[in-house]
Structure formats: structure tokens, C-alpha cells
Amino acid sequence: MLIVMKPRATAHEIDAVVDLITEIGLRAHPMPGATRTAIGITGNEGPIDGRRFENLPGVAEVIRVTKPYKLVTLDLRPDKTVVRVGGATIGGSELAIIAGPCAIESREQAFAVAKTVQKSGARFFRGGVWKPRTSPYTFQGLGDKAWQILTEIRDTFGVKIVTEAVEESHVDLIEKYGDVIQIGARNMQNFSLLKRAGRSKVPVLLKRGMAATLEEWLLAAEYIMAEGNYNVILCERGVRTFAQHTRNTLDLAAVPAIRRISHLPIIVDPSHGTGTAYMVTPLARAGIAVGADGLMIEVHNRPELALSDSAQALTPAEYAQLIEEVHAIRNVMARAGCGLNAS
Ligand code: PEP
Ligand code: MN
């Protein structure tokens, strides 16, 4: 159920609807938009009788939601969500670049990469503290020791820190020392982790599961939003197919497909999406051309020495060139009037 308020509905009228929703044991999600506020309702297992809301002051319309998701949709919020992280934004007019190594390996490595990333204008630095590795015998990340390095990087370069929470207790540490909680592909349907991230005030970057349909991905975002955290960024990172020329198949059609359904920002990760350094730049260009709000790119000062995802890491020089190219593409798109919003 979705309650659309009249454009001139007062804060008092909106509060009265929210109070009634709470009083009947449900949860209200008011979403202010450019022209009106809509209020999503969750917590019901069966249908709700919407007629009780119809005559409340300020209510324009009561809409039954027939789709499986309620909060991620353009029905609730026709304007794109712009996620704000300090002064940086994802989903607005600026191209969001999240770059850094797969994992934080040492102070020297992290600083060398952070310097490159900041020089290119990126506002977000990524780097795994805890790594979800396929094999238990490979490098699992520095763990808590990485926070000292990340804290220094944040202070020195003024970048926002994006790192993956592999389990619920990691969210506490990201809330303390980081800026964006990444939920990885392997955990896209770890529902207790999603709910924990949903109770956080920190924005969440939700990667697509490697075998997830768009509906499953959006329902994972719904888990986070249903807990009250509306700052969700989707990240397409490729899915498993029969193809053997890439690590994953980067599904760029997901970008316009998501735009048609959801107000959430969406970025593309061509590093995990291809698994091979020489393909990262071409697919990054394509990701921007298809309308993504930003990119996640893995960079290493010495890719040949990287302790994880070595084959897909760009050198600082390759990364700098990529950034120049994607900005040029974005500028052409802006001049050509390409719609970067819902299509
Ligand atoms: C990562 O970003 O380092 C990562 C592990 O990505 P994914 O969850 O997409 O595999
Ligand atoms: Mn990686």
C-alpha cells in the first residue's frame, strides 16, 4: 500500500497518516519528493484495507502495490535518489568514482593507491578489510588492523571509505571508521546482514548476487530500506554465464532496466565484471555510456604483486587514463542531452 499526499499537504497532515499507520501496527516510510510526499507501508503480510486512509486530510490517493517490492519503486518516489556521503554524492549530476585496491594489504600499498585515486578526483576510496575468498587458504584481508591505515587515508586524502561487511559485527566497525557499507555479491541474500545494514545510518552499496535476477536484487535492497535505511546504491558486477572469456558477464542492460523500475542510483563494477585488466576500461566506458551513476574500479600500485584479484587491477597510469575517458564520454552525453534519469 502506498499513500500519495497532495502536493500542498502539511507536515501535520503527513504526521497524522504516519501515526495512524503506526497505530495499526505497521511501519510507515514517508518519502518526500520534488512535488509530493508518498508514504510506503510495510509490516503487513496480507492486504491492507486502504479505505481508512482515503478521507484523511491531505491524502490525494491510496494505491495498492501489486509488485513484490514497495520502497525501491518509482511509484513511491518518482525522483531519483541522490545518496549523500559528506559532501560527495552518488546518483546526482556528478559521476561517482569508487576506486582502490581489492584489499588493504599494507600502509605503503594503500597510500600509493589512495594518492592516485585522489589525484584523479575520486571522492571514494575502496579497499577490503575482510575479504570473502573462495578458498580458505588465500589472503583473507588484514582484518581490524586495516582500520588504522584506512583512518589515516581518510584524514590525509579526504576520501570517503567504502568497505565490505562480510558479517553483522563488521557493520559496527564501518559505522565507526568508514563511510559506506558494501554488501558483496556472495552476501546479497544474507538477510540478517541486510537487516543489520538497514538499521544503520550509513549508506549501503549493494552488489548484485552472481546469479541474482533483478527482482531478487531489488528485494535485497527492499530488505535494507524496510528497516529504515533509504540510502542504498546498487552495483552491477556481473553474473555467471557459460562465457569463459570473462570472470563474470557484466550485464549492462541492468542499468536501463533498473532505471525503469527504481529511483535508486546504480553504478557499474567492470573490475569484478570482467576479471581481466585489459577489459576494464572498455567496459567502464560502456557503463557510463549506458547511464550508470558511477563506477567501482580496482587499482593497485603493483598489480602483479596484489594478494587478491591481481589480474583485474589497473595500474595507476591505466586508471588515470580511464578516468579521463569516462569523463569525456559523460560530457558528450550531457551535451547530447542523453536522459540520465528514468527512461
Ligand atoms: C569486491 O568488491 O572486492 C568484491 C569481493 O566484489 P563482489 O562481491 O562483487 O565479488
Ligand atoms: Mn576484488
* Ligand 1 lined by 303 (C-beta under 6 Å): no
**CA proximity to 117, closest of 157, 88, 69:** 157
Do 326 and 135 meet the contact criterion of CB atoms below 8 Å apart? no
For ligand 1, atom 8, the nearest C-alpha belongs to 184
Confirm or reject CATH 3.30.70.270 for domain 2-63, answering yes or no: no
The residues spanned by each domain of the chain are 2-63, 83-335
**Residue 67 neighbours by CB distance under 10 Å:** 11
| Per-residue model confidence (pLDDT) at position 162 | 98
CB 185 near ligand 1, within 6 Å: yes
Whole-angstrom distance, CA of residue 222 vs CA of residue 68: 10
Strand 204-207 vs strand 180-183: parallel, antiparallel, or unpaired? parallel
Q: What is the DSSP letter of 145?
A: G
Q: What is the pLDDT of residue 231?
A: 98
Distance CA 144, CA 322 (A): 32
268 lines ligand 1 (CB under 6 A): no
Cα→Cα distances 179→88, 105, 176, Å: 11, 20, 9
Please tell me the distance from the alpha carbon of residue 232 to that of residue 325, in angstroms, as a whole number.
27
Instruction: Give pLDDT, residue 14.
Output: 98
Nine-digit cell string for 140: 583473507
Is the CB–ligand 1 distance for residue 98 below 6 Å?
Answer: no
- Decide: 207 in ligand 1 pocket, CB within 6 A: yes
Rounded mean pLDDT for each run of 10 residues along the chain, 343 residues in total? 96 98 97 95 89 96 92 96 96 97 98 96 96 95 97 97 98 98 98 98 98 98 98 98 97 98 98 98 98 98 98 98 98 87 46
- The 3-state DSSP class for residue 114 equals helix
Q: What is the pLDDT of residue 45?
A: 85
Q: Which overall architecture, per CATH, does domain 83-335 show?
A: Alpha-Beta Barrel (3.20)
CA of 6 to the centre of ligand 1 (A): 43
Distance 240 CA to ligand 2 centre (A): 16
Could you give the CA distance from residue 182 to residue 86 in angstroms, rounded to a whole number?
Answer: 17
208 in contact with ligand 1, CB cutoff 6 A: no
Question: Best of 207, 267, 271 to mutate for ligand 1, by most ligand atoms within 8 A of CB?
Answer: 207
